[in-house]
Structure 1
Amino acid sequence: MQLTSFSDFAFRSLLFMATLPEGELTSITKVTETYGVSRNHMVKVINKLGHAGFVRTVRGKKGGICLAMKPEEIGLGQVIRALEPLQLINCGEPYCKILPACRLKSVLEEATQAFLSTLDNYTLADMLTNNSELKALMIPSETVE
């Protein structure tokens, strides 16, 4: 199973925000510069994370983005459910003539549930615990002249 770049960028942005001091705002620009990803794509990701309740956005001159919940309240499975289309196959379009006898769909649904069940065992905080290297990697590198 491969996640979309959308979910990849979502996890990256959540990890970035989770390394900030509680309540500190950042910007989409800082997130995109840290990872070297498309700002336009990241704007869509942050918007979706905001609608899903994971990110809080503050408008205005002193605005920015931050986590809307504590990292220990953000389950990795929750994030995937909010962002990914989890139906692995669509047997109806075009209609598959073996549908009445096919067992593949139920096996794939079982595999998806196992995948989500594993992710449900972890939170964003688990990705940060005893991981000082991660926070160090979030600090922008100095430009050497």
Structure 2
Amino acid sequence: MQLSLHTDYALRILMALAASEEQLSVDWIARRYGISRNHLAKVAQGLQSEGLIQTYRGRGGGMRLARPPSDINVGDVVRRFESLDSFVSCMGGGPGCAINGVCGLRPALAGALRAFLDHLDEYSLADLVSERWPMLRRLAPEGISARAQ
């Protein structure tokens, strides 16, 4: 299984915000991860609409977590950003498999997906950034005070 870039970037934004414990800009995060600013901005909008981050416009604007990292469940984030009901076409009621309903693939994959999500449910965002300072040194080798620029 491969997560979409949208989910990957959502998790990266959340981890950067959790590690920093401060407000960060989309530009800053995009530069640090070396990813598209425009795509990251779209993901940030999704995070805001899901109530996971708060955003601030204007000079000195940026984003910050809407709640403590320990209250953000990784499995929940993945469920919100992935289209899991169509993991394979027969799971989403999609058209066209000649053996749909008579093979064991659908229940096998549904069980695997459930196990995957159950495992992610054991982790909070705080767990993903338990090594906060090494993460910050990787993201901001020039120093902590330059983070929000």
Moved over 4 A (4+): none
**One-letter amino acid matched to 1:103:** G
SS at match of 2:119: helix
Alpha-carbon distance in structure 1 between the residues aligned to 2:10 and 2:70: 16
SS at match of 1:97: coil
Matched, 1:111 2:104: no
Per the alignment, residue 101 of structure 1 pairs with 102
Question: 1:31-46 residue pairs with structure 2 within 5 A?
Answer: 31-46=29-44
Conserved in 1, the CA contact under 8 Å of 2:18 and 2:65? yes
Q: Is 28-37 or 133-142 further displaced after alignment?
A: 133-142
Q: Which has the higher contact order (CA 8 A, sep 6+)?
A: 2
Deviations 1:40-95 (A, max 9, x none): 11011111111111111122333211111110011110110010011311124432
Question: 1:3-82 residue pairs with structure 2 within 5 A?
Answer: 3-21=3-21, 24-82=22-80
Alpha-carbon distance in structure 2 between the residues aligned to 1:29 and 1:96: 44
Gaps of 5+ in 2: 144-149
Per the normalisation by structure 2, the TM-score is 0.86
Q: Give the number of aligned pairs.
A: 140
**One-letter amino acid matched to 1:14:** L
Conserved in 2, the CA contact under 8 Å of 1:34 and 1:140? no
Conserved in 2, the CA contact under 8 Å of 1:78 and 1:120? yes
Matched, 1:122 2:136: no
**One-letter amino acid matched to 1:94:** P
Per the normalisation by structure 1, the TM-score is 0.88
Per the alignment, residue 146 of structure 2 pairs with none
For residue 99 of structure 1, report the CA deviation from its aligned partner: 1.4
Alpha-carbon distance in structure 2 between the residues aligned to 1:61 and 1:132: 27
